[in-house]
Amino acid sequence: MKRILAVLLACVLLVSCMSLAAADEKKTLTVWIPQYQFGDGISDQDFWDGVFDPFEEENNCEVKVEILSWSDYNTTIYTGLLNNDGPDVVYVTDNYDLVQAGLLLGLENYLTQEQKDNYILWTTGPVDANGEHVIVPMDDGVAIGYYNPDILKEAGIEAMPEEWDAFIEACKTIQEKTGKQGFLQNWGATSGTSALMLAFWPYYFQAGGVMLDENGQIAINNEAGLKTLEFLKKFADEGIFDETIVSESESIDKFANGELAFVVADLNKGASFTKNGTNWEYFFSLKGPAGYGARTATDSFAIAAKAKERGNDELAAKALTLITSGAVMDRFHSEVFYLPPFTKDATFVKDEALYALTSQHIDNVYVVSEFEGKASFEKELQANIQMMFMGDLTPQEVLDNTMTYYNDQIKQ
C-alpha cells in the first residue's frame, strides 16, 4: 500500500511540475507591419519593439515584430496567413480576398463595445461569412488639393477656382499668361490602384458616383462615371495634360519646384513643399456636379484566423488593442509617420489647418471600397483612360471596355 501511495504521490508531483512548466512557458506572438519610416527618425523596428517591451513583461510572452517591404506586400501577407508560421497580428491593405478566404479572425467576441465604439471607422469595415467584423480600419488620410497662390496671382486669378469648368479655364489661363503648367496627375503610376486613388476616384465622388451597387459589385458604368471621364478628357483636349503621362512623383516634384499651379496628393506632402521654399495652400477638393468629394482609404490591423489554432488568439487581441490605442497611435503619428486620428481617444494632430479643413468636410470624404479583383480592375481602367488621353477611346468606350473585361476576365 505504501508503495502504491508513493507512486501516486510521485505522479501528482510530476503532473504539478509539468503544469508549472507549461504555465511558465512563454508564448511567441508574431506581428507583421510594413515600413513607414523613410526619414531620419526612429526606425519602425525600434518604435514597435519599444511599444511591446512592457507588453512582453505583463503577458509573459515574446513579441516578434517583423517590418515588411511594401513591395508585393499583399501577396506576402496572403501567403503568410495561409501558413502555420505566419503572423498572428497583421497590417492589412487590400482585404477582400483575405476575408473571402476566411484568413482573418472575427473580432466581435474579442473587443468590448466600448473599444468598438472608439474606432471611428469601425462600421465601415468588412464582415466575414459569420457576419463578424474582421479588421480595425485606419484612416489613411484624404487625397488633398494644393495650390500655389503666387502662380495664381501671376496669372491674374484672385481666388482658388473650385468648380470643374472654372478650374479648367484657370489652368488654361495660367499656361497662357505664365508659361507654367496648370495641373498634372499621376496617370503614369506603376499601378492602377495608385493612379486612381489620386486621379479618378475623387472626381467620381464629386460627380455623385457610388462604387458598389446594392449587391456589393463594382459599378461605374453610369452617369457619374461618364461625367468623370468627360471631365478628365477635357484636360487632354485643352492641352493641360500634355502627351507625357507623368509618374507618381513627377507632378509632386514639379509642384515643389514652383513649376505647377495645382496638384492633388496625399496629406503628408505639405512639409516637403515648404522645405523646398514653395508658397502653397490647401484646398479640400474640386466641386463637381454633386459637390465636394475626396477619397480616403482604410488600411487596417487584423488577427490571423490561424492565431486561434495556435492558441494565440486572446494574446493577439490584447496586442491588437494596444497597437490601435490612441496613446500608441499618437506616438506613431508623432514619431514615425503622420496619419489622421482613427480612434476617438487620439489627441495628436500634426497640422491644425489641415485637420480643420478636413473636419469641415467630413461628410464629403468617401472610402474607396474593396471588391473582387480590385487591383486587376483598376489596372484595366487605368490603361483604358490612358488610351482615352491618346484619342483612341471615348469616355463611354472606356466604361464599356473596362466593365466587359472585368465581367469576362476578372470576376470569378
Q: Given this model, what pLDDT does residue 312 score?
A: 97
Q: Given this model, what pLDDT does residue 375 score?
A: 87
Q: Given this model, what pLDDT does residue 376 score?
A: 92
Quote the CA–CA distance of 161 and 168 in Å, as a whole number. Answer: 9
Number of Cβ within 10 Å of residue 101's Cβ equals 12
Grid coordinates in use for 210?
A: 457610388
Q: Given this model, what pLDDT does residue 276 score?
A: 78
DSSP H or E stretch at residue 49: helix 44-59
Residue given cell 488610351 in the structure block: 387
Q: Given this model, what pLDDT does residue 270 score?
A: 77
Buried b vs exposed e over 267-303: b needs ≥16 C-beta within 10 Å?
bebbeebeeeebebebbbbbbbeeebbbbbbbbbbbb
Angle at alpha carbon of residue 165, lines to 278 and 262, rounded to 5°: 10
Query: pLDDT by residue for the chain (412 residues), tens digit each?
Result: 545 545 445 444 444 444 444 445 789 999 999 999 988 899 999 999 999 999 999 999 999 999 999 888 989 999 999 998 999 999 998 899 999 999 999 999 999 999 999 999 899 888 999 999 999 999 888 889 999 999 999 999 999 999 999 999 999 999 999 999 999 999 998 889 889 999 999 999 999 999 999 888 999 999 999 999 999 999 999 999 977 778 878 999 999 999 999 999 988 777 778 877 889 999 999 999 999 999 988 899 999 999 999 999 999 999 999 999 999 999 999 999 988 888 999 998 888 888 889 889 989 999 888 899 998 999 999 999 999 999 999 999 999 999 999 999 998 6
Task: For each of the domains in the chain, give its residue range(s) and CATH number, in order of start.
Answer: 26-140+298-356 (3.40.190.10), 143-296+372-410 (3.40.190.10)
